[in-house]
Structure 1
Amino acid sequence: MGLNSNFFGFLSVIFRLGDGDWSTEKSYVCTWNLDRRGFNPNHPDVVLDVASSVMCLAFHPSRPSLLAGGLFNGEVLVWDTSRTDDPHIGRSGLSVDSHMDAVYQVRWLQEVPQSHRLQLLSVSSDGKILVWQMEKEGQLVLHNGFALVSQQMPSNSKVNKHGWGDAAVGVTCLSSSHFDPSVFVVGVEGGYLLKCSTAVQTAALATVTSSIPLKAPAQFAFSPHGGPVYSVDCSPFHRNLFLSAGTDGHAHLYSMLQEKPLTSLQLSQKYLFSIQWSPVRPLVFAAASGEGELLLFDFGRSSQKPSLSIKQTVNEKPVYCLEFNRTQTQLLAAGDGDGMVKIWQLSSDYTEQGAREMNLLDELAGAAAD
């Protein structure tokens, strides 16, 4: 299940989590508009029928009718939900350029000024980070790309010391810096967080097949989680801070300036599936747990314990995803293992920035230099 909010509402993707071939299992992408007159939570405004399991979704940041999705079979699709006849407007297809494994995240990039072409990025467990450009014919064409190969991992990681040679390092999540668009952080299946750059010129090893040369972006490795990383998010308020969450149940707060996390918080005895900074409170983040809880953490109140725990599911089904609404900032959506999307309304404690909040965030980040 995936979740993403836009200016008007939210969406969810639904598929079966049980047995079966995920590459051929149909799934449904549903959108709701919370501001629509006659809003009915049991009847979505748009239902998109997809032939393979949809793993991730992303609304375009300024054109909210445009929606990108990544599939289990490696494809990337684009829909225009304002079109009632045929919303499907773009497809990467399956070729030597496409992902060979499931797509775990898609993200829109800034449009190319000269061509006004739409661009988006996708990451996969096949180790590739691909940049797609929308062509007029409705095809997504590979425009740029990167690949993580174990032999080319940073020297301060142990990924390249396990005898894996030139094996691909599966990418599970990505977040770009809000202050430098060339910098991004990825989480990988081995538990590492890698600082990467789009400005690199080093070619990825030739074992990674593609019609265009792929580059090796990894520059620095951070101390790993105890298992695969499921979510990473760069702070929108501080250039050096980012959060991560993984299968070890820990949330890590890192500085770009040092290898070890500034703090490690065990927020779940099971997995943490998603983590995200508040778009309006610099010291606040939310996390989704395997015990069915939605956790809100405020560093201004405590450096060790969540300030609020919301029991989303009574049967301890996991909360898989969450999303702050960046326009209606009092709203927080979360999707769970019961197939439910719940919208929570936050109090002003979590939506109004305190007087010294940025100073406290700077102090927190300053611990990296101590």
Structure 2
Amino acid sequence: MTDDEPSADLGSGWGDIRHKREEIKENLTESDLEKQVELVLQETETIWLLDMPGVCVSAENEEADSIRERNQRYIELSKSRAGNDRYVEKGMNTFNEPYKFKTIQTQRVTYSDAGVMATNWDMYDTYAAEEDAKKGSTDEEEEDHEGTISRPISETKTGSGEETTRDRARLASARSKSSGRATLESRGTMVSSTAGTESLFTSKDTGVTAVYPDAAGSTEESILQSDRLKKDLFFMERVVNLNSYQSKQASFRGFSTVEDIDKEKSEAVGGQISVADMGPNLDRLWSYNCPLTKGRNVSCLSWNSHNQDLIAVGYGQYDFTRQKPGLVCCWSLKNPEYPERTYTFSEGVTALDFSKANPNLLVVGLYNGGVAIFNVRSTTDEPIIDNFSSPGKHTAPIWQLHWIEKERGSGEERAEVLVSVSTDGRITQWSIRKGFESYDLMKLKRLPTRMQGSKNKEKKGEAFISRHAGGFCVDFQKHDTNIYLAGTEEGHIHKCSCSYNEQYLESYNGHAGPVYKVLWSPFVPDLFLSCSADWSIRMWHQDQISPILSFFSSTKSVFDICWSPRSSVVFACVNEAAVEVWDLSVSTLDPVIVYTPVSGARLTSVTFAMNSECLLVGDSEGQVTVYQLRCMAPYPDKQAEELQKVISASLATQLKRPNAFENSSVDSNMSQEFFD
């Protein structure tokens, strides 16, 4: 076949075929109107999906002539297509390329910002330099190069109008420059940098800091190290964390979140077990920890009385062979990721407490017997007063510190003093009114042990190696700060008075190991709790030398206990493996909540939140975890009566049992006293 002969494989002519569509009228019902109708868009002969607009070239472009010539050849070629046997319309399969959006049909347009600032002095110097270069004045060229005024006004040529105009412009520019600088100095503060020519300007009206162009590069480092920037970043970090912990902190405040409401609805509809059906439980919210606290043992916790969202945490090891540098962190609810204040020590921190009269004062007790007081309003890591070189310093670790108010003199004026207890057997009072003076309230002495001899006769025990007993804890009565309790290493609890430092008012025997914590009840002034290494928690009445109730829930040492600030019958404790919450109105035999953390760390301290239904637990890995108490029994209306009612019922049950007190230290007279 030659090129002149027509091709035998001509197009089928499908484009010439036309079909007439029959129009069928449909009767739509209400159900048809509610149906979903799918519409598919397809290309037609006049409407197509891919739109590629033409490219226009300016007629003044260098390639305009070649483009006109190419377009003319294409027009002539299109004219010769009609009736030419060389052109055949034929369909074929092509590769379907991915669709392109309008935003990616063209190359990316790049932008670049450029700016320059020219002052009156710059324009004048440039003009003066060009004029002087034309005249060939060497002296004036050097002066203009340095950026100074080329000639004083008195040296201008009187006969030249051009020089007179230039001098007038120079005088006006100098006046405007001096007046502008005076205005800046009156409304703001000019601070010169180390380079001499670099400066910052801060406006007093707006507080905005401006950097002159010649100082922008060199002052970048000074801006990054400025206190203002650190303060702004401090608040920005708070804002970001508040946004991240919004749902958790809403639960901490007792607010219902959207997630909780949706979960309750789904449980009610789906028939699942709701949270209320699970009984009392703990819900983990978050943990106070950071790289500084990793691997450190949480030794003590203390809430601030003024800002109840602020808690101080002390980190220190208990064992002598595993000592690490101490650390104190002040954590705030506004930033759970990093502490507000940090204080470092060469010795481990074993005790701390916020002042009630001056909430900005934080006292810290160390493993070497030192006591330091910090002002948390200041960001410096230095105590305002300490006893590191004082002759009254403790010679052993301090295990507890207390700020108490005592009467000063014979009048009604009261002053706040500090009391510390240490393993060296001393309970010491510190006063910061005149230096850091101290004197001993009590020197704890060991009590003689009695052993059973033949025919039920008692005989004396072994001789003492030391006459002093190590003190582990102390707590003052809320209504009478002159009376306090002291727990010792040998397992005794002594009731003491600040007025007598030679003998105990009473001694309570019941524990067989060191007493780690003793606490007066916040609702019943005559009752107190104690926990010990003998795996037990005991409740005492100050008029009875034997415990009235004993709680045994595990075979682990109980390190810490805490009364609930809202219910007289609720308290919490921690042992090595679990945290327990007791509700005496529900049971006096078993805790209502036993929670074992999955981390496996040893639990060391516990405290109730002051303004929330939450519990804070510290462990040996440096974490203070916040748990929400859920589904607890409602609080009693009459707190003191409810606790006495529970104790009376428990004692009455024990009295009905035969031989109930053969191996128990409960006094039967105590039950009758509560009934009366």
Q: 1:314 aligns with which of 599, 623, 627?
A: 599
Alignment of 1:202-217 (within 5 A): 215-217=501-503
Structure showing the higher helix proportion among its residues: 2
The residue that corresponds to 2:544 in the other structure is 258
Which secondary structure does the structure 2 equivalent of 1:349 belong to?
coil
CA distance in 1, matches of 2:508, 2:320: 35
Distance 1:313 1:223, change over 3 A: farther
The residue that corresponds to 1:207 in the other structure is none
Distance 1:313 1:251, change over 3 A: farther
Distance 1:17 1:55, change over 3 A: closer
Q: Is the 8 A contact 1:150 1:165 kept in 2?
A: no
CA distance in 2, matches of 1:263, 1:362: 12
The residue that corresponds to 1:150 in the other structure is 446
One-letter identity of the residue aligned with 2:326: S
Which secondary structure does the structure 2 equivalent of 1:359 belong to?
helix
After superposition, the C-alpha distances for 1:261-284 in whole angstroms (9 at most, x for unaligned) are 111111331110001111110111
What fraction of aligned residue pairs are identical, expressed as a percent? 25
The residue that corresponds to 1:341 in the other structure is 624
Q: Is the 8 A contact 1:241 1:365 kept in 2?
A: no
> Is residue 80 of structure 1 aligned with residue 375 of structure 2?
yes
One-letter identity of the residue aligned with 1:150: R
CA distance in 2, matches of 1:89, 1:253: 39
> Is residue 302 of structure 1 aligned with residue 587 of structure 2?
yes
Q: Is the 8 A contact 2:399 2:472 kept in 1?
A: yes
Q: 1:231 aligns with which of 517, 532, 548?
A: 517
> Is residue 123 of structure 1 aligned with residue 421 of structure 2?
yes
Cα root mean square deviation, aligned: 2.6
After superposition, the C-alpha distances for 1:45-98 in whole angstroms (9 at most, x for unaligned) are 111011211101111124332111111111111111111235511212244422
Q: Is the 8 A contact 2:449 2:461 kept in 1?
A: no
> Is residue 13 of structure 1 aligned with residue 311 of structure 2?
no
Distance 1:358 1:15, change over 3 A: closer
One-letter identity of the residue aligned with 1:353: Y
Structure showing the higher strand proportion among its residues: 1
Distance 1:128 1:324, change over 3 A: same
The residue that corresponds to 1:287 in the other structure is 573
CA distance in 1, matches of 2:338, 2:432: 31
Q: TM-score scaled to structure 1, two decimals?
A: 0.84
> Which structure is higher in RCO with an 8 Å CA cutoff and minimum separation 6?
1
Q: Is the 8 A contact 2:405 2:414 kept in 1?
A: no
Q: Is the 8 A contact 2:315 2:350 kept in 1?
A: no
CA distance in 2, matches of 1:163, 1:188: 18
CA distance in 2, matches of 1:278, 1:336: 20
The residue that corresponds to 2:560 in the other structure is 274
Which secondary structure does the structure 1 equivalent of 2:338 belong to?
coil
CA distance in 2, matches of 1:257, 1:19: 38
> Is residue 247 of structure 1 aligned with residue 524 of structure 2?
no
One-letter identity of the residue aligned with 2:437: V
Q: Is the 8 A contact 1:119 1:132 kept in 2?
A: yes
After superposition, the C-alpha distances for 1:143-190 in whole angstroms (9 at most, x for unaligned) are 452111226x899xx9x9542286101110111112222211111101
The residue that corresponds to 1:363 in the other structure is 645
The residue that corresponds to 1:32 in the other structure is 331
Q: Is the 8 A contact 1:58 1:67 kept in 2?
A: yes
One-letter identity of the residue aligned with 1:148: L
CA distance in 2, matches of 1:318, 1:77: 28
Instruction: Measure how far apart 1:303 and its partner are.
Output: 1.0
One-letter identity of the residue aligned with 1:10: I
Which secondary structure does the structure 2 equivalent of 1:360 belong to?
helix
Which secondary structure does the structure 1 equivalent of 2:645 belong to?
helix
One-letter identity of the residue aligned with 1:342: T
Q: Is the 8 A contact 2:404 2:481 kept in 1?
A: no
Q: Is the 8 A contact 2:357 2:416 kept in 1?
A: no
> Is residue 63 of structure 1 aligned with residue 346 of structure 2?
no
Q: 1:91 aligns with which of 379, 386, 401?
A: 386
Q: Mean Cα displacement is larger for which, 229-238 or 340-349?
A: 340-349
